[in-house]
Structure 1
Amino acid sequence: LIISTAVSLVDTFIINACFFIDIELETQNVGQLSTVFHCKDSWEIIEGLRGGLSNVQEPENQAGYMLKKRKWPMKGWHKRFFYLDKGILKYAKCAADVEKGKLHGCIDVGLSVMAIKKKAKCIDLDAEENIYHLKIKSQELFDEWVSKLRHHRLYRQNEIAMFPHEKTLFHPHYPLTSSPTIPDSQSIRKVMPWDMKRVPSCISAGSIRLHASNPNLSSVDLTNEKTYHETLDSPIDVSKLQEDFCRVANNREFYSCDGSRPLVHQASNESRASITESLSEFFDAQEVLLSASSSENEPSEDDSYISDISDNVSMENFSNEVENERLNTGGYRRCCLPSPSPNTSNISLWNILKNNIGKDLSKVAMPVQLNEPLNTLQRLCEELEYSELLDKAAHTQDPFERMVYIATFAVSGYASSYYRAGGKPFNPVLGETYECDRPDKGFCFVAEQVSHHPPISACHAESKNFIFWQDVRWRNKFWGKSMEIVPVGKTHVVLPGFGDHYEWNKVTSCIHNILSGQRWIEHYGEISIKNSNSEKCQCKVTFIKAKYWSSSMNEVEGAVTDHKGKVVHKLFGKWHEGMYYGSPPSATCIWRMNPMPPDYEQYYGFTKFALELNELDPLTKALLPPTDSRLRLDQRLLEEGNVESAEVQKQRIEQLQRERRRVLEDNHMTHQPRFFQKSRDDTWVSNNTYWELRKDPGFSNFDCPVLW
């Protein structure tokens, strides 16, 4: 059975997006449910099958050209030929290619979340692994395609309901968060949907490729067809859940997003506003701003991407500096948390939603088990895990080689996210701070939550070799089965020894499969790095989006160019494994991800560096201000496995923040950050007072609000 689209949307929205919207539900008839989002330009979620089987007549095939949006490469709208047959939408460059089977992709409309925007004549299909953006110029053709897609979608869903064991389509290989190198049902799905009739025989006699760079682990034989069938997802009976949802929906309604918020525009002339565009709070700590963003997964006209990195790539005499394991107190840094992550299988998020219909969901606290025992300020510090790359850059005379190290550092900050798609960090409360003094790595870091509306986290780090700073805010896009996270702002690094000031943007991140629970994260887009004090060289690094027809994942490629645009160094690798420069097989390894600690799956997927971020020894505790994240009670209790007490403290901390906000509003006052100030370009930079105050007179008598 298909889980009701409306139920899945709302439930998934709460678990993974960590922000909330209000929706109006309209029950149209016995067999259909329509969910309408009253956002700007009126996005509409198309109805799905409800209430069991119904007599849906086999639809006529539909074929024709539509515009399809691509993000990279060849960004923009491109004309493609589409063929719709029994709920399966195939597309290629032209009709002849479809007839020959030279397809660019295939979409199961019945298993996709479908939304339309009538004013812009746009159709969006979220198929979990990919998000497809379609557009039709003619109103008549738009209405015809929408009508056909509705009919085919219901037909396909009815077909799946009648034959639930035959519902599985075979999609490209995507890794599970918990075990990226082990084949499973997701791996098997790399076979194209139109070849599914011959899949069982192919799989039993063939092999599937493991997600790894090592050619010795490139494949595994599947000889037991029974085992294959057992790996597929079994159907879930949710008729009671659907019935309850529709009953409540008939009696209650709660309204949509805040239309007063600004929209973000893409390169196209029309606004690609989010289906659920709003500013929302999570546990009264506002977190994200929805925006327009698109992803694309179409083959390039020049299919010349780098695939797996060969094992015989030569290694430079370069290695990550060995970390000094001793704390200032003489002890060793911990290698695991006090308690493993809690079991979340007993959390019924649907019951939480159902019991709060008609209430302001932004004020409804979610279970603390959905968090990891780190917060956003500490996650910013994680970007410095491989700070030795900046040290190396600071000692490299050649400006083009310096740029290679800077670019590799920018990529390395994404490595720790590979095993972390299942949880979310705590939201810092306004005025919360975090310091990380690492003499072993040679830097000291400080961060502060400088704004609550909108949420902005600022950080600053210094060493004898570099200065690093950024302020972070996000715009998010929720598509129904996937969520895109678009960071806004620049990251800055200064190398005082050379007078270099590097700055770069961040790429889009996307959490996939948020409906199924087998979530995985992908990063895609282009990082542009420039030295604002010199035009001698630039660098562009591209995070390549996973391709439908390939099992290659997480690939990165880039180039360092001179002022004339001539390529001086080429870069390639995988953001979760390592980076190289040069050309295979004689390329040089610049960086490899550190090995994961033992039993990392039991401890939130934390890297060794992440395990140390919330560690608190007595000497450090005496030096911290009362606002430091390591003193936050709910986060500490969750780390120790005391979930019930953590939940109590979390609610208390959120209430304290609401009370402080009301006091400021009643007195017509605004919060003033202690350690950061706003610059002329509206970014937050350090006021260089934290470490001086820490040294003299210290924070023991520091006047600060009670945050927890």
Structure 2
Amino acid sequence: MDCCPITDDSADEEPTSQSDHSEIQGTLKTLASKLDDLSTCNDLIAKHGAALQRSLSELETLRVPLEGGEKIKAVNERATLFRITSNAMINACRDFLNLAESHSRRWQRVLQHEREQRTHLEETIEQLAKQHNSLERAWREVPAHAVNTPEIPTSTTGVSARPRKEEASDEDEDTEYFDAMEDSPAFITVTATDPSQHRRSQSNLSGASGGQPNDWNQEDNCSVSSNDFSGKDLQPHRKRRTQIPEKPNYSLNLWSIMKNCIGKELSKIPMPVNFNEPLSMLQRLTEDLEYHELLDKAARCENSLEQMCLVAAFSVSSYSTTVHRTAKPFNPLLGETYELDRLEEFGYRSLCEQVSHHPPAAAHHVMSQRGWTLWQEITIASKFRGKYLSIMPLGAIHLQFHASGNHYVWRKVTSTVHNIIVGKLWIDQSGDIDIVNHRTKETCQLKFSPYSYFSREVPRKVAGVVKDSDGQAHYILSGTWDDKMESAKIVQSSRGSSSSEGKQKTVYQTLTPKLLWKKYPLPENAENMYYFSSLALTLNEEEEGVCWTDSRLRPDQRLMEAGRWDEANVEKQRLEEKQRATRRRREAEASKNIEEGQGFEGYRPLWFHQRTDEMTGETIYVYKGGYWEAKERQEWSTCPDIF
């Protein structure tokens, strides 16, 4: 989104992970020396300036010829100017001193942080070395007949005890993962070579519903291999478009528009299409289905814990499209809909409707012939804070599998767009996702680590634990929200050392991680097409038979996609004014009915109605049916005229 007149690519650079302590220390010493020099010069200028002023004042009191007096007066005026300039320089030096001293303290803190991180890493390596030695001793003590049995490589992962939900926050560091280094030798778990011994050693981890968990290394219809999800496994029957008109190069001063909007709801700020992408929020919501095959595979899982891993990967995959997508989607008009009919290609149908305007809320329903149904109502709360924009999706996402009846519920994390005014825009995801299977009471806790300039961790990191109804951990999930997610089955757990906060960590020994999800590569020339994915390129493709409230038919969005932004801005203003006029007319009718003692009903969506959710106790909009039947009959007479 080319919306800032000033660019500062340095603001977007990743933090260096190779800080040279000696160089920092030397820089601090040099800076301290220069501060002393500046302080001395400051004192000397003040002292000599005052002495010069006194001497010139004394000369003016002497009896000298008229010409000499005028010269002395001119010199005194110049000295006064010099004093004023010197005072300005002294003040600037004082400001520099204060700034340099504050930065000196900051670098000292950074250096101390680096030292603590090094000490922490050394303790972790020492702990791993002790475990390695104990495993080697165990291997040497095994009878000779076990030497030729298959070996199971494992990695060791440490996880600290998680706090109670009410104690959690975005800045908690209570859950930490320490993966074995890539170049280190694989660990050997001897007790896992005999299946009967393996089961006995896992007696404390067998709390999964439906009996003993299946080992993902075995062949079953839910095992995940490294080749899964590397590309689309089904080819669509209909050829979809693979490109859209390239984005025009429009320059616009964002600050001139946004400076009076600080603290306001983003949905209430009138924005030109220059800050948008040619998709509506309903279409962006539908993009959550890009990796629907994860749910198709999860529906075939007989083991609910393995199913939970795939559901967790699906919940993370919806963020992969946001890493480059910093432009704002169109705010849907009240009553606007969007359908995505992929029944023939992929077995599902999706419908979204804008059910409320203030606050903006959209209801979404997906029905799949491959064994699952997904529904959600999302309300977007957003605040512009000057340097960054926080986007907080409110509302629960429900997923139910038809065969097992497993019902999963989770909520989205906070998205933050940085460098709104100056610099290159970039987006981050942070917070926790708690997924609950309400039938079995199994849980998955995912943590999206916020970006930190001083962190040595992988950017955009996501990590989590899958637990059964008794709280026993069975799988470790790890990866990044912009690339991939992996799962590793836990074969043994033990108490580790205490963290710096005094909390005891649990060390999990796991099998080799299995790939759950991998992001598809972006289409060619995506950088000039708003960084749309292959699915996003098809969302606004014209299609016959859709309802006349469908986002594909929205004229301002269509004009923007065609590159006619000036016309799109005019059309956007017309549509918004039409919506305001409709709202004023509805309010006038309601006021008239009240005056006449008659009842009135507020706005009612066409395809969704409000119900109390049994799982969360919240009042949400759920699909009441009828849309696809109306499409088959092409009967849209009850639909509002919003475009």
TM-score by shorter chain over 0.5: yes
Aligned pair in 2 of structure 1 residues 302, 707: CA closer, same or farther (>3 Å)? closer
Q: Which residue of 2 aligns with 1:698?
A: 634
Which residue is 2:328 aligned to?
A: 424
Structure 2 counterparts to residues 13-24 of structure 1, below 5 A: none
Matched position secondary structure for 1:420? coil
What RMSD, in angstroms, separates the aligned Cα atoms of the two structures? 3.7
Residue of structure 1 equivalent to 2:435: 529
Shift of 1:650: 1.0
Q: Is the 8 A contact 2:255 2:421 kept in 1?
A: no
Which amino acid is the alignment partner of residue 374 of structure 1?
Answer: L
Aligned-partner residue type, residue 431 of structure 2: G
Kindly indicate whether the alpha-carbon contact (under 8 Å) linking 1:677 and 1:686 is maintained by their aligned counterparts in 2.
Answer: yes
* Residue 229 of structure 2 is aligned to residue 319 of structure 1: yes
Look up the equivalent residue of 2:639 and give its one-letter code.
C
Aligned AA for 2:288?
A: E
Spell out, residue by residue over 1:86-143, the C-alpha distance to the aligned partner (whole angstroms, 9 max, x if none): 3438579xxxx859734699xxxxxxxxxxxxxxxxxxxxxxxxxxxxxxxxxxxxxx
Q: 2:626 aligns with which of 681, 689, 700?
A: 689
CA distance in 1, matches of 2:267, 2:398: 33
Q: Is the 8 A contact 2:428 2:460 kept in 1?
A: yes
- Corresponding residue SS for 1:694: helix
Q: Report the Cα distance in structure 2 between the residues aligned to 1:658 and 1:307, rounded to whole angstroms.
A: 59
CA deviation profile, 1:272-307 (whole Å, cap 9, x unmatched)? xxxxxxxxxxxxxxxxxxxxx9864x8x58864559
2:366·2:373 contact (CA, 8 Å) conserved in 1?
A: yes
Contact 1:310 1:585 in 2 (8 A): no
> Structure 1 residues 490 and 365 mapped into 2: Cα distance closer, same or farther (>3 Å)?
closer
TM-score normalised according to structure 1 size: 0.56
Q: Please state if 1:55 is matched with 2:91.
A: yes
Specify the alignment match of 2:282 in structure 1: 377
- Give the 3-state SS of the residue equivalent to 1:665 in structure 2: helix
Q: Quick one: which of 404, 414, 429 aligns to 1:498? A: 404
- Look up the equivalent residue of 2:103 and give its one-letter code: I
Q: Which of 648, 673, 680 is the aligned partner of 2:605?
A: 673
1:651 shift after superposition = 1.2
- What is the correspondence of 1:115-194 to structure 2 with a 5 Å cutoff? none
Secondary structure, counterpart of 1:101 in structure 2 = helix
CA distance in 2, matches of 1:672, 1:557: 41
Instruction: Give the alignment partner of residue 378 of structure 2, picking from 464, 472, 475.
Output: 472
C-alpha distance 519-315 of structure 1, shift in aligned 2 (>3 A): same
**Residue 542 of structure 2 corresponds to residue 609 of structure 1:** no
| CA distance in 2 between partners of 1:477 and 1:641 (Å) | 29
Q: State the match for 2:349 in structure 1.
A: 444
Answer yes or no: is the 8 Å Cα contact 2:440–2:469 preserved in 1. no
What SS does the aligned partner of 1:664 have?
A: helix
- In the alignment, residue 229 of structure 2 is paired with which amino acid? S
> Is the contact made by 1:456 and 1:472 (CA closer than 8 Å) also made in structure 2?
yes
The answer on whether the counterparts of 2:606 and 2:639 sit within 8 Å (CA) in structure 1 is: no
C-alpha contact (below 8 Å) 1:309/1:573 kept by paired residues: no
Residue from 626, 649, 660 that aligns with 2:582: 660
Distance 1:660 1:90, change over 3 A: farther
Indicate if the aligned counterparts of 1:325 and 1:333 stay in contact, CA closer than 8 A: no
Say if 1:443 and 1:462, in contact at 8 Å, map to a contact too.
yes
Say which structure is richer in strand. Answer: 1
Q: CA deviation at 1:320?
A: 5.2
1:508-558 deviations in Å (ceiling 9; x for gaps): 1111222323111111111111111222x2111111222323262111111
**Matched residues in 1 for 2:474 and 2:170: separation?**
30
Do the aligned partners of 1:91 and 1:103 also contact (CA within 8 Å) in 2? no
Contact 1:513–1:519 (CA under 8 A) maintained in structure 2: yes
- The aligned residue for residue 46 of structure 2 is none
CA drift at 1:598: 0.2
Q: What is the CA-CA distance between 1:628 and the residue it aligns to? A: 0.4
Describe the SS at the equivalent of 2:346. Answer: coil
Query: Which residue number in structure 2 is paired with residue 707 of structure 1?
Result: 642
Task: Name which of 346, 353, 362 aligns with 1:457.
Answer: 362
Matched, 1:433 2:337: yes
CA distance in 1, matches of 2:175, 2:438: 33
Deviations 1:346-402 (A, max 9, x none): x23455579999xx9998743212110001000110001001000101001111101
User: What amino acid sits opposite 2:485 in the alignment?
Assistant: M
2:516 partner SS: strand
Q: What is the 5 A alignment of 1:78-97? A: 86-88=101-103, 90=105
Paired residues of 2:449 and 2:461 also in contact (CA < 8 A): yes
What do the CA deviations read for 1:55-78 (whole angstroms, capped 9, x no partner)?
Answer: 35636999xxxxxxxxxxxxxxxx
> Equivalents in 1 of 2:512, 2:256: separation in Å?
58
Q: Which amino acid aligns with 1:463?
A: S
Shift of 1:505: 1.3
C-alpha displacement of 1:446? 0.3
Change (3 A) 1:308 1:497: farther
Cross-structure match for 2:209: none
Structure 1 unaligned runs (5+)? Answer: 1-6, 9-51, 63-83, 106-265, 269-292
Aligned residues of 2:336 and 2:354 also touching (Cα < 8 A): yes
Q: Structure 1 residues 102, 703: closer, same or farther in 2, change over 3 A?
A: closer
Which structure: larger Rg?
2
Contact 1:342/1:369 (8 A) holds in 2 = no
- Look up the equivalent residue of 1:673 and give its one-letter code: P
Question: CA 1:393/1:361 → structure 2, altered by over 3 Å: closer, same or farther?
Answer: closer
- In structure 2, relative to structure 1, the CA distance for the partners of 1:690 and 1:343 (3 Å cut) is same
Which residue of structure 2 aligns with residue 412 of structure 1? 317
SS of match in other structure, 1:526: strand
8 Å contact kept, 1:414–1:576: yes
Deviation at 1:441, TM superposition (A): 1.8
> Which runs of no fewer than 5 residues in structure 2 stay unpaired?
1-5, 8-87, 117-164, 187-223, 490-509, 591-600, 613-617
| Structure 1 residue 101 corresponds to structure 2 residue 124 | no
Q: Which fold has the larger relative contact order, with Cα–Cα distance below 8 Å and residues 6 or more apart in sequence? A: 2
Cα distance in 1 between the residues matched to 2:425 and 2:281 = 20
SS class of match (1:447): strand
Q: Is residue 474–residue 487 contact of structure 1 (8 Å, CA) maintained in 2? A: yes
Are the equivalent residues in 2 in contact too, given 1:91–1:104 (CA < 8 A)? no
Compute the displacement of 1:702 (Å): 1.8
SS at match of 1:86: helix
Whether the 8 Å CA contact 1:500–1:534 is kept in 2: the answer is: yes
3-state DSSP of counterpart to 1:707: coil
Do structure 1's residue 594 and structure 2's residue 594 form an aligned pair? Answer: no
Contact 1:320 1:388 in 2 (8 A): no
Amino acid across the alignment from 1:611: L
For 1:88, the aligned partner's letter is H
| In structure 2, distance between residues paired with 1:646 and 1:581 | 46
Secondary structure class of the residue paired with 2:311: helix
- The 3 A distance-change label for structure 1 pair 447 and 309 is farther
SS class of match (1:550): coil
Deviations 1:2-59 (A, max 9, x none): xxxxx99xxxxxxxxxxxxxxxxxxxxxxxxxxxxxxxxxxxxxxxxxxx99935636
Percent sequence identity is 36
Gap change, CA 1:353 and 1:54, over 3 Å in 2: farther
Partner of 1:80: none
Change (3 A) 1:100 1:557: closer
Query: Taking structure 2 as the reference length, what is the TM-score of the superposition?
Result: 0.61
User: What does residue 473 of structure 2 align with?
Assistant: 567
1:667 counterpart SS class: helix
| Partner SS, residue 583 of structure 2 | helix
Give the AA of the match of 2:641: V
Distance in 1 separating the partners of 2:619 and 2:484 = 35
Alignment of 1:503-652 (within 5 A): 503-535=409-441, 537-547=442-452, 548-550=454-456, 552-582=458-488, 586-616=512-542, 620-621=543-544, 623-652=545-574
Instruction: Work out whether residues 637 and 646 of structure 1, in 8 Å CA contact, stay in contact via their aligned partners in 2.
Output: yes
Q: Is the 8 A contact 1:90 1:103 kept in 2?
A: no
Query: 1:655 Cα deviation (Å)?
Result: 1.0
For residues 300-351 of structure 1, give each alpha carbon's deviation from its aligned partner in whole angstroms, at most 9, with x where no partner exists: 58864559989999944523563655454xxx211111x1112132x23455
Counterpart amino acid of 1:319?
F
